[in-house]
Amino acid sequence: MANKISRRDFFGCSAALGGAALLSSSPILTSCSGGSSKMVPLKKKGEYYIPVLADKADPGRELKVGLIGCGGRGSGALHNVLNAADGIIVHALGDVYEDRLNDVRAMLQRDRGIEVPSENCFIGFDAYKKVIDSGVDMVIVTTPPLFRPYHFQYAVEKGIHCFLEKPIEVDAKGYRMNIATARQAQAKGLAVICGTQRHHQRTYVEAYDLIQQGMIGEITGGNVYWNQDQLWYRERQQGWSDVEWNIRDWVNWTWLSGDHIVEQHVHNIDVFMWMAGGITPIKATGFGSRFRRVTGDQYDNFSIDFEFENGVRLHSMCRQINGCDNKVGEIVHGTKGVWSSFDHAIKDWNGNVLWAYNHAENEAKFAQHDPYTLEHVDWVNHIRKGEPLDEATLCAQSSLAGIMGRESAYTGKEITWEAMSASELDLMPANIESGVLDLASYKVPVPGDK
Amino acid sequence: MKKIYIVLIAFALGVALTLALDTVYVRSSQDNSCMSCHVHPDAEASWKQSVHHNGSTGTTTGCAECHLPPEGSSARFFAKMKLGGRDLFSYIFKNKENINWEAKRELQYAGKIVFNESCEKCHENLLPKGVSDDAITAHLYYEENAEKLNLQCISCHLDAGHVIPGYSHSKMNLAPQKKEGKIHEAPATIASFADFEETIPGTAESIVMKAIPGGTFLMGSNENEPLRRDDEGPVRKVTVSSFFMAETEITWDQFWAFYGETMSEGRTPPSKIYANNSRPDVDAVSGPTPPYGAPDQGWGAGSRPAITMQHYAAETFCQWLSLKTGHKYRLPTEAEWEYAVRGGTDTPYWFEGSPKKYSDEGFWRKFSSADTTIIASCAIYSANSGNRTGEPASVAANPFGLKNMLGNVMEYCSDWYAADAYSQMADGAVDPKGPATGTEYVVRGGYYASDAKELRCAARAHTETARWLTTDPQNPKSIWWYSDIKGIGFRVVCEVPEGIY
């Protein structure tokens, strides 16, 4: 503000005051007060978000939560939010299929003694609207990712706080919807968190803070991995429509999950983009293929080279095949050192440990270490204090980065951020409610020409 | 004591003067103060109908809120001094009757008196509730490139402050209404080498084609020609064969007839379009995708020249016209174009006059305006256009019977542009086709906003793809329409069928 001179100031002889204000914020004066550390921060304190990782949310007004998408992650998230805070009422449930909803309803009754009344249980493709309109304060959205942008949009329109499981889109149209909706959510003061729970994992958050303070210097690159065994799949059963089969087998279909580089590996790509200060890739060049996946049209392995501004590079790999070596984690390289999630430590390039997460000390200090619970603590605290929170923008960006990698592997082409973010790619089928899909058109992609 | 009184009085006077100036500063930015001098009646009326006065929210945005940088910035103070000074000068010294207010609404001028930072002061969220997918794409593009590419809000939202009849920035929905009239059943018959009127089967459109007898001429300008540029030389003796050339630039009626038959909904990847259209046996060309906004700029379509289409769209038009008529249509080569415009003359213009005399450049021109009687009767350009395209019938034809070769809109040639194209070309060349490869195409002739020096027969220009697509937020950008150039169009030539002479 000090360098702006308003009309009245200009004529009101307050230039002297303005000058004083300029001096007082001068970097020459303020820079003398610091400590002796040689670290050059990537961002100043206060310019990046460090969550308060309390064991439990502060008590406050009662909050009604709705669940959209009654799968494993949905019921898990319900437990998380109930563990994170007192005064949470499970108000409504929604799913496309009744049996899935009944499973969660029974689970709540069995494990928690919670009864969700029948009139608040909604079935069908419009169940999400009914949950949002049922009088909830907050929703947990854990449907297959294809639907996320639509559910997020409707919830924000209705002023409802959101927990969005990652990834939050599978295509470019979803990315644009999410970026716009995130902006609108901030305007409404809503708290939006995403299922990228490493942002609330004590080990990661402490490292993130140190990296922003400059402990590894400027970011030069990284490596991220999610190599694991084959995921679950479901064969088609009699009486299932095309859509029902695909939805029940959704982690194997690109149009629903985004493929595993987006659906699962987005975690690790997201960690790099987050640690590096919120940067987005300029382009992606990658490979991928399918050896052993049983159903669906997805690959089961990817290897992607991401390029960022100033030559920063990220190599990403992911695999879902049994009997291989598994590896899940992230490494971030800087000019002065390297951070790794495999040992939760920062070392300089001579191998000296500059920092290591002190497990013993933190175990003694905190009772809650589950990041899935901690993210709900932060969410509830924000809602109760009326403070907005936006994790959707970064999650939309990291989801799009995953989509770039996928499209590069599928096509054999270099995919730019510019082209991907403006692309017309929209995986929502025309008539999903009819249950009919042109299944023959869902083929495993083959890059290049014959 | 006396000294103290003097100091006190001086101080009081100072305070009074400061307060008075402050009052002037504030008051002079109020709407009624603006309108007391800005007496053109349309500015107020069109503002009152705009979304900034007559919007759904009922709030009113005043003159100075858009036409000055935001309050509280020093930029506002300096902009106010500069613009206010200019307004005052015009008010006192200029004849208001002669000011073309309509022309000042064009982006070219409006961009200088509307400030992005003022737009953004109110429009903090560019992705508000209800924003369309196209708008999200465009606004994300804006956010990422506004500074780098100097994008302006009014590049798309030109009618935000003052309504402009016929203006739009959204995607065109339907092909414009076809011209009524007799639908031609057959193409023209070319029986001899003489002027003819091509009739486009299945449409009510026809194109008057002038027979241009082949010959030899001096291409380029020699070093004595005033206001010439180096790429116009060295002068080469060039021979061109006979051909037919359209009397006027291709009109909107003619272009929309093509668009209506070939438009492709959705976005087909350019590679697929090129592949389809380059098949030797293609019987249906893939034409343009729907443009954003009204490509006629709200100036009116009809027989005004079609504008803003890219070179590839013009080539595809020729391909379509050839398929429809069975005659071989294409864009002119640069040599054909210059041969045709000269019409046997070897002077800077095909009519009388010197570029120096007509040009508005130069210090002395500020004090005495040029006598433009002759040039203004032969071309639509900066002095007579009102900053927009005009009806071709309004100007005289050149010796070959061609109209507006030198003005109205710039015209595509088939040649790649090279600054040294004439040195590359042999003296005495026959039907030269320009450099074998290149990145930008030759465009010839001035346009409605050109100075007289750009209207010289030898003056050369070229496409500027990146700059002419600055605002297009799509990726890949359009291969059919330009977003940032208006004065570009084309005219077709027809090859003389075998056996006709």
Quick: pLDDT tens for B397-442. Answer: 999 999 999 999 999 999 999 999 999 999 999 999 999 999 999 9
Does some domain include residue A447?
A: no
The CATH number of residue B231's host domain is 3.90.1580.10
CATH code of the domain containing A410: 3.30.360.10
Q: How many CB atoms are located within 10 Å of the residue B284 CB?
A: 11
Same domain, B151 and B231: no
Q: Which of A427-441, B24-38, B192-206, B335-349 has the lowest average pLDDT?
A: B24-38
Put simply, whether A22 touches B (Cβ < 8 Å) is no
Residue span of the structural domain in which B66 resides: 2-155
**Two structure tokens written together for B174:** 């339907």
Same domain for A215 and A168, yes or no, is no
By mean pLDDT, which of A192-196, B41-45, B458-462 is the weakest?
B41-45
Interface of A with B in 139-168 (CB under 8 A): 157
Q: How far is CA A227 from the centre of its chain?
A: 19
Which residues in chain B touch residue A423, judged by CB atoms under 8 angstroms apart? Answer: 475
What is the number of other CB atoms lying within 10 angstroms of the CB of residue A445?
A: 18
Q: Are residues A190 and A230 part of one domain?
A: no
Residue B281: both structure tokens together: 């046996």
Residue B71 and residue A7: Cβ atoms within 8 Å?
yes
Q: Are residues B210 and B144 in the same domain?
A: no
Q: Is residue A398 within 8 Å of residue A273, measured between CB atoms?
A: yes
- For A359, half-sphere exposure in the C-beta direction (CA atoms, 13 angstrom radius) is 3
Q: Three-state secondary structure along B207-276?
A: EEEEEECCEEEEECCCCCCCCCCHHHCCCEEEEECCEEEECCCCEHHHHHHHHHHHCCCCCCCHHHHHHH
Domain contains B164:
no
Inside any domain, residue B64 = yes
Mean of the per-residue pLDDT values for chain B?
A: 92
Same-domain status, B254 and B129: no
> Would you call A179 and B127 a contact, using CB atoms and an 8 Å cutoff?
yes
For residues A299 and A323, membership in a common domain is answered with yes
Is the same domain home to B137 and B256? no
Among candidate residues A159, A182, A198, the one where a domain is terminated: A198
* CB-based contact, B150 to chain A, within 8 Å: no
In a domain, B371, yes or no: yes
A218 with A164, same domain: the answer is: no
| Whether B125 and A424 lie within 8 Å, measured CB to CB | no
- d(C-alpha A20, C-alpha A14), whole Å: 10
C-beta separation of B377 from B248 below 8 A: no
Radius of gyration of chain B (CA): 27
- Is residue B182 situated within a structural domain? no
Q: How many domains does chain B have?
A: 2
**Global pTM value:** 0.87
Q: What is the DSSP letter of B292?
A: B
**Chain B residues with beta carbon closer than 8 angstroms to that of A424:** 266-267
Of A6, A421, A423, the CB nearest to B72: A6
Is there a single domain that holds both residue B133 and residue B204? no
CB contact under 8 A, A5 and B74: yes
Two tokens, residue B117: 């930072």
The answer to whether residues B69 and B206 belong to one domain is no
> Do both A211 and A67 map to the same domain?
no
B210 plus B134 within the same structural domain: no
Please tell me whether residues A308 and A275 are part of one structural domain.
yes
Please give the helix or strand (H or E) that residue A182 lies within, else none.
helix A172-187
* Cβ-Cβ contacts under 8 Å, B267 against chain A: 424
Measured CA to CA, the distance from residue B169 to residue B160 in angstroms comes to 11
**A347 and A291 housed in the same domain:** yes
The neighbouring-strand residues paired with B212 are B243
Burial (0-12, 13-18, 19+ Cβ within 10 Å), A239: exposed
Two structure tokens written together for B161: 């402050």
Residue type, A13: C
Res. B175 pLDDT band, cuts 50 70 90: confident
B22 touches chain A (CB under 8 A): yes
Structure tokens at A414: 């270099």
Closest-CA residue to B91 (of B137, B38, B18, B26) = B38
DSSP B55-69: STT-----HHHHHSP
DSSP assignments along A197-227, one per residue: GGGG-HHHHHHHHHHHTTTT-SEEEEEEEEE
The three-state secondary structure class of A65 is strand
Beta-carbon contacts of B59 under 8 Å, excluding residues fewer than 6 positions away, are none
Note whether residue B18 is domain-resident: yes
Tokens standing for residue B163: 């309504």
Residue that finishes a domain, picked among B95, B121, B155: B155
CA gyration radius, chain A = 24
How many domains does chain A divide into?
A: 2
Structural domain contains residue B321:
yes
Tokens of A101: 């909803």
- Dist CA B182 CA B206 (whole Å): 11
* Contact at CB, A180 and B131, closer than 8 angstroms: yes
| Contact of B100 with B386, CB cutoff 8 Å | yes
Let me know if residue A279 belongs to a domain: yes
Residues of chain A with confidence (pLDDT) below 70: 1-37
Minimal Cα distance from A184: which residue of B? B128
Greatest CA separation for chain B: 111
Check whether the bond before B41 is cis (ω within 30° of 0): no
**Amino acid A13: pLDDT:** 36
In a domain, A304, yes or no: yes
C-alpha distances (whole Å) from A133 to each of A65, A100, A136, A155, A175 are 12, 21, 7, 9, 24
Identify the helix (H) or strand (E) that includes residue B31.
helix B31-37
- My answer on whether B352 and B407 are in the same domain is yes
User: B133 with B208, same domain?
Assistant: no
Inspect the interface and report whether the beta carbons of B72 and A176 lie closer than 8 Å: no
Verify that B379 and B463 share a domain, yes or no. yes
What residues have CB less than 8 Å from A166, skipping those under 6 apart?
Answer: A145, A194, A195, A196, A266, A267, A270, A395, A399
- Do residue A424 and residue B18 have CB atoms under 8 angstroms apart? no
Angle at A7 between CA A4 and CA A8, to 5 degrees: 110
Q: Are B207 and B197 in contact (CB under 8 A)?
A: yes
pLDDT of residue A19: 40
What is the enclosing helix (H) or strand (E) of A354? Answer: strand A353-356
d(CA A401, CA A308): 11
**Could you tell me how many CB contacts below 8 A there are between chain A and chain B?**
67
Q: Please compute the mean of the pLDDT values over residues B56-60 and round it to a whole number.
A: 88
Domain region containing A78:
63-198
Structural contact between residues A142 and A77, judged by C-beta atoms closer than 8 angstroms = yes
β-strands B206-212, B196-199 pairing: antiparallel
Q: Answer yes or no: do A235 and A139 share one domain.
A: no
Q: How far off is chain B from A274, nearest CA to CA, in Å?
A: 19
**Chain B contact present for A179, CB below 8 A:** yes
In one letter, which amino acid is A109? Q
Last residue of a domain, one of A198, A223, A242: A198
Q: Which residues contact A372 (CB under 8 A, 6 or more apart)?
A: A76, A77, A80, A197
User: What are the tens digits of pLDDT across the range B228-237?
Assistant: 999 999 999 9
- CA B72, CA A120: separation in Å to the nearest integer? 53
Boundary-marking domain end, from B134, B155, B176: B155
Asked if the structure places residue B211 within a domain, the reply is yes
User: Does one domain contain both B209 and B274?
Assistant: yes
Instruction: Choose the weakest-confidence range: B125-139, B222-236, B258-272.
Output: B258-272
At residue B338, φ and ψ (nearest 5 deg) are: -70, -35
Rounded to whole angstroms, the Cα distance separating A378 from A194 reads 11
Strands (E), A158-294: 161-164, 191-194, 219-228, 283-289
The answer to whether position B98 is within a domain reads yes
The CATH number given to whatever domain includes residue B139 is: 1.10.3820.10
- A171 and A88, same domain (yes or no): yes
Rounded mean pLDDT of chain A? 93
> Tell me, what amino acid is at A61?
R
Taking the C-alpha atoms of residue A167 and residue A78, their distance in angstroms, rounded to an integer, is: 18
Is A331 found in the same domain as A244?
A: yes
What is the mean pLDDT of the segment spanning B143-162?
A: 92
When CB atoms are compared, the residue of B21, B129, B140 closest to A179 is B140
- Tokens standing for residue A321: 């095949």
pLDDT over 90, % of chain B: 68
pLDDT score recorded for residue B33: 80
Does some domain include residue A28? no
Tokens of residue A196, six digits = 């990228």
* pLDDT at residue A243 in the model: 98
| Cα B261 off chain centre by | 25
Beta carbons of A174 and A143 less than 8 angstroms apart: no
- Tell me which residue of A82, A153, A162, A80 sits closest to A116, measured CA to CA: A82
Task: Please indicate, yes or no, if residue A18 is contained in any of the structural domains.
Answer: no
Chain centroid offset of residue A442 CA: 27
The answer to whether residue B125 neighbours chain A at the CB level (below 8 Å) is yes
Q: How far from chain centre, in Å, is Cα B376?
A: 19
One domain for residues A238 and A346: yes
The answer on B113 and B24 residing in a single domain is: yes
Residues in chain A closer than 8 A to B133 (CB atoms): 173, 176-177
The CATH number of residue A81's host domain is 3.40.50.720
Of B155, B178, B213, the domain-final residue: B155
User: DSSP string spanning A264-301?
Assistant: TTHHHHHHHHHHTTS---SEEEEEEE-SS--SSS--SE
Contact: B125, A419; criterion CB under 8 Å:
no
The full DSSP string for B69-129 is: PPTT-HHHHHHHHHHHHHHHHHHHHS-GGG--TTGGGSHHHHHHHS-HHHHHHH---SS-T
Could you tell me which residues come within 8 angstroms of residue B385 by beta carbon, excluding any fewer than 6 positions away?
B407, B408, B448, B449
Let me know whether A344 and A426 are in one domain: yes
Q: Is residue A329 part of a domain?
A: yes
Structure tokens at B199: 């009739």
Please check whether residue A48 lies inside any domain of the structure. Answer: no
Which of A142, A173, A198 is a domain's end point? A198
Q: What is the pLDDT of residue A1?
A: 35
The torsion angles phi and psi of A371, rounded to 5 degrees, stand at -65, -30
Is residue B71 less than 8 Å (CB to CB) from chain A?
A: yes
Evaluated on CA atoms B20, B59, B100, B356, the torsion sign reads positive
